[in-house]
Structure 1
Amino acid sequence: MRVAALALLAVAPPSAAREPGNGITRPVVLPPFDPAARACTRPRGLRNELVFVQDNEREFVQGIARGLAVAASDRGLAYRVVRSNNNAALMIRQVNGLNAQKAGAIVVAPIDPPSLSPSLRRAIRGGAYVGAIVPPPATTILNAPQYQTGKVLAEAAAAHIRTRLGGKAKVVLLTHDNLQFLAPRFTAMRDTLRRLPGVTIVADISPVTVDRAGGHRTMKMILLAHPRVDVVLGADTVVLGALDALRQARKARPDQFLGGIDGERAAVAELKKAGSPYKASISLASPIFGYAMGRFASDWLSGKSVPQAMDILPKALTIANIAQYERDVADPRAVYADPRRRYSYLRMYGNICSDTRDRYLNFPWSSERK
């Protein structure tokens, strides 16, 4: 059984899980974020700058960059992006360089979390704000309830299999199981699909690169062994690549179910096309949480308390709600300013500031529990 952190009453005190210099290394349940928490000392000797260390050019992270840019502009922070181009060694050098330059705030989408961890810990110890997209360590970790995210998509696929495919389907899962922090979403897909006796998972594989090209290459290989595929699930960027391969091989069909996670614009455009195999996208609204993390960076550098963790809530996009979603991601500032709309996308947990940065999260945080 999985329950959200807000439903748990017993909250372990951070001191119970601290290891000096290494942050909080064992899982704790964080209370809701308190925006009225006591202010702290402003970090000293750091540049009033926000830098996004971007892993690649997939649209999901471009959305993060856009949200960060708007927040930096609103708050008077210098802002720039450094791109690592799927090169983990380059990312380490980039973060080390930012530490040497005394950058005040870093947001990162890690390529290889274990190898990057020492560099991020040095940034935190030096007083910088570090926001991480999913893996630790960070002063603020952004995650989604990963099992729920995968379950929402898999249930949409299961409904399609029952109603459009007569209960039978050959399924491809394009996973990220090499990233343990995202693995629960694919566990949820397997859990849901195994309840359908007519479903066969013909491929369960992680593309070498998490981008459209990686999905295209992987799907081309799968089609050599399995020329007929009915369902493809994964991140939007790789599933869009799989769709490219299906169309190239003339094996795309209107009755197929291709579904992804991230709410990328190209996926949304496919949803609007009559007869497209692309049937669902689970939105994680990256410009909206990017904007929030940009504001946290500014608050941190001003001596304010910020969340230790934040959920981005999965939304299943449909023709009925796509228009409102597109308005929201186009104007993340307006969403953040409206508590009702903000709460429909984001949940915030814990408190941390420069004076309490020894409480940074250094474990794979999630609001979900088994």
Structure 2
Amino acid sequence: MRTAAWQVMRGVAAALVLAAAPLSAAPAPGHGLTRPVVLPPFNPARSSCAKPRGLLRELVFVQDNDREFVQGIGRGLAAAASDRGLTYRSMRANNDPGLMIRQINALQARKAGSLVVAPIDPPSLSPGIERVIRSGAYVGAIVPPPATTILNAPQYQTGKVLADAAAAHIRTRLGGRAKVVLLTHDNLQFLAPRFTAMRDTLRKLPGVTIVADISPVTVDRTGGYRTMKTILLAHPKIDVVLGADTVVLGALDALRQAGKARPDQFLGGIDGERAAVAELKKAGSPYKASISLASSIFGYAMGRFAADWLDGRWVPQAMDILPKALTIANIAHYERDVADPKAVYADPSRRNSYLKMYGNICFDSRDRYLNFPWSSERP
């Protein structure tokens, strides 16, 4: 597992530092585009393609677990499927990579027409995903390749937005001094740039000490709770906790249980989960920021792409979900948007504030799927 993860990370580094291959680069036989390419803006006005044949008109969400961020994706996918006449269902792997592999293989065997996957262990899942793509089905992936459409965020920017907010709090509320916990995702190396950004930002503050830089065993509230309980045994006074919303919420649970939560702390997460938004609204809560990735909105977009694919239309090869720092001033507007992703998608100005689309692919050009760690960010 470690070796596979290191190979994936080397691929990420290559994608960021190698010169991009020309747009005309040929795909590797049977493996899509394996070398980095620069994708132009998505052009939805291209002429129609052939429709896939012999596949079920259904959309399946293969999810790693049931955290709120993933639930948001599912709500968006379900809404798009309903709007476009696709049968929708979800399959949960409960953080079991072996089960997810079996689920993907079963979907290929039943000739599912489209799926979206939130992978657990990308290297082990990749061969099954490629077989689904070669069958003619649409595959949307949340961050790791391979996929017909890769959804990513500008990960360094996402981490920096959160770290900048934490740094401002440390300077103004904590006198420039803080003990910090970073709850990372070492088991999903594609997210590494967000934590690099946090370290880069905090390193500039001489009074800051990162007392724990660790990945919870599971990326969920329970994982964050258990990890923070262990950290508190060695470091009973913590000032700042950063990570994904779901694990930081678990850390907050542990702090409160231990009587170590304080109003002047800065707990901040990424994903804009409802429970994190609720904490932001509470007077005196240690939870001070959540960086929204609006999962229901990009889920709705990916559901629309699945239907477009099955209807013989072009879809993006990649899409950015743009990070937004949620504050008391903008939470009400944000909550209206994520509750009605269809309205956001239908309004170009609102849609473009959340999503940016790149490249073109359809059934006729399906062999040009992305099979490298795509990011819109450049060093």
Q: TM-score surpassing 0.5?
A: yes
Distance in 2 (CA, whole Å) between partners of 1:72 and 1:166 is: 51
Which of the numbers 63, 72, 82 marks the counterpart of 1:63?
A: 72
Residue 245 (structure 1) aligns with: 254
Shift of residue 24 of structure 1? Answer: 0.6
Distance in 2 (CA, whole Å) between partners of 1:16 and 1:126 is: 22
Question: Match of 2:225, SS?
Answer: helix
Does residue 1:322 correspond to 2:331, yes or no?
yes
Distance in 1 (CA, whole Å) between partners of 2:280 and 2:319 is: 28
Residue 291 (structure 2) aligns with: 282
Residue deviations 1:133-189, cap 9 Å, x none?
A: 000000000000000000000000000000000000000000012311100000000
Which of the numbers 364, 367, 370 marks the counterpart of 2:376?
A: 367
Which of the numbers 335, 340, 357 marks the counterpart of 1:331?
A: 340
Distance in 1 (CA, whole Å) between partners of 2:164 and 2:365 is: 42
Which of the numbers 91, 96, 116 marks the counterpart of 1:87?
A: 96
Does residue 1:229 correspond to 2:238, yes or no?
yes
Identity of aligned residues (%): 84
Residue 312 (structure 1) aligns with: 321
Structure 2 counterpart of 1:271, one-letter code: L
Distance in 2 (CA, whole Å) between partners of 1:34 and 1:226 is: 53
Shift of residue 29 of structure 1? Answer: 1.1
Distance in 1 (CA, whole Å) between partners of 2:25 and 2:77 is: 34
Which of the numbers 7, 16, 24 marks the counterpart of 2:33?
A: 24
Q: What does 1:247-286 correspond to in 2, within 5 Å?
A: 247-286=256-295
Distance in 1 (CA, whole Å) between partners of 2:221 and 2:47 is: 45
RMSD of Structure 2 on Structure 1 (CA) = 0.9
Structure 2 counterpart of 1:28, one-letter code: V
Query: Does the Cα contact within 8 Å between 1:150 and 1:184 map onto a contact in 2?
Result: yes
Structure 1 counterpart of 2:351, one-letter code: R
Query: Does the Cα contact within 8 Å between 2:179 and 2:240 map onto a contact in 1?
Result: yes
Structure 2 counterpart of 1:285, one-letter code: A
Residue deviations 1:286-323, cap 9 Å, x none?
A: 00000000000000000100000000000000000000
Gap change, CA 1:321 and 1:73, over 3 Å in 2: same
Shift of residue 333 of structure 1? Answer: 0.2
Structure 2 counterpart of 1:113, one-letter code: P
TM-score by length of 1: 0.97
Distance in 2 (CA, whole Å) between partners of 1:135 and 1:289 is: 16
Query: Does the Cα contact within 8 Å between 2:68 and 2:273 map onto a contact in 1?
Result: yes
Query: Does the Cα contact within 8 Å between 2:23 and 2:38 map onto a contact in 1?
Result: no
Structure 2 counterpart of 1:231, one-letter code: V
Distance in 2 (CA, whole Å) between partners of 1:136 and 1:112 is: 11
Which of the numbers 149, 154, 165 marks the counterpart of 1:145?
A: 154
Structure 1 counterpart of 2:210, one-letter code: I
Distance in 1 (CA, whole Å) between partners of 2:246 and 2:126 is: 26
Q: How many residues align?
A: 361
Residue 203 (structure 1) aligns with: 212
Does residue 1:341 correspond to 2:350, yes or no?
yes
Segments of structure 1 that go 5 or more residues without pairing to the other structure are: 1-9
Question: Match of 1:53, SS?
Answer: strand
Does residue 1:213 correspond to 2:222, yes or no?
yes
Which of the numbers 312, 315, 325 marks the counterpart of 1:303?
A: 312
Shift of residue 362 of structure 1? Answer: 0.3
Query: Does the Cα contact within 8 Å between 1:17 and 1:25 map onto a contact in 2?
Result: no
Structure 1 counterpart of 2:104, one-letter code: V
Residue 191 (structure 1) aligns with: 200
Residue deviations 1:57-89, cap 9 Å, x none?
A: 100000000000000000000000011111100
Distance in 2 (CA, whole Å) between partners of 1:28 and 1:255 is: 46
Query: Does the Cα contact within 8 Å between 2:20 and 2:36 map onto a contact in 1?
Result: no
Shift of residue 15 of structure 1? Answer: 3.5
Query: Does the Cα contact within 8 Å between 2:190 and 2:373 map onto a contact in 1?
Result: yes
Residue 77 (structure 1) aligns with: 86
Query: Does the Cα contact within 8 Å between 1:177 and 1:186 map onto a contact in 2?
Result: no
Query: Does the Cα contact within 8 Å between 1:170 and 1:228 map onto a contact in 2?
Result: yes
Distance in 2 (CA, whole Å) between partners of 1:67 and 1:43 is: 24
Does residue 1:180 correspond to 2:189, yes or no?
yes
Distance in 1 (CA, whole Å) between partners of 2:370 and 2:277 is: 34
Distance in 2 (CA, whole Å) between partners of 1:14 and 1:355 is: 17
Shift of residue 12 of structure 1? Answer: 4.3
Query: Does the Cα contact within 8 Å between 1:11 and 1:31 map onto a contact in 2?
Result: no
Distance in 1 (CA, whole Å) between partners of 2:66 and 2:186 is: 21
TM-score by length of 2: 0.94
